[in-house]
Amino acid sequence: MQREQIVSLVLEALKSVNEIHLSDRTIPLEENTPLLGEGSQLDSLALVQLVVEVEQRLSLNHQIQVSLTSERAMSQRTSPFLTVATLTDYIAAESSAV
The model's pLDDT over 12-70, given as tens digits with 9 standing for 90+, comes to 999 999 988 766 678 899 999 999 988 898 888 999 999 999 999 999 999 999 889 88
Rounded Cα distance, 45 and 48, in Å:
5
Residue 35: the pLDDT is: 94
Asked if residues 75 and 83 have their Cβ atoms less than 8 Å apart, the reply is no
**3-class SS letters over 1-44:** CCHHHHHHHHHHHHHHHHHHCCCCCCCCCCCCCECCCCCCCCCH
Angle at 5 between CA 26 and CA 16, to 5 degrees: 30
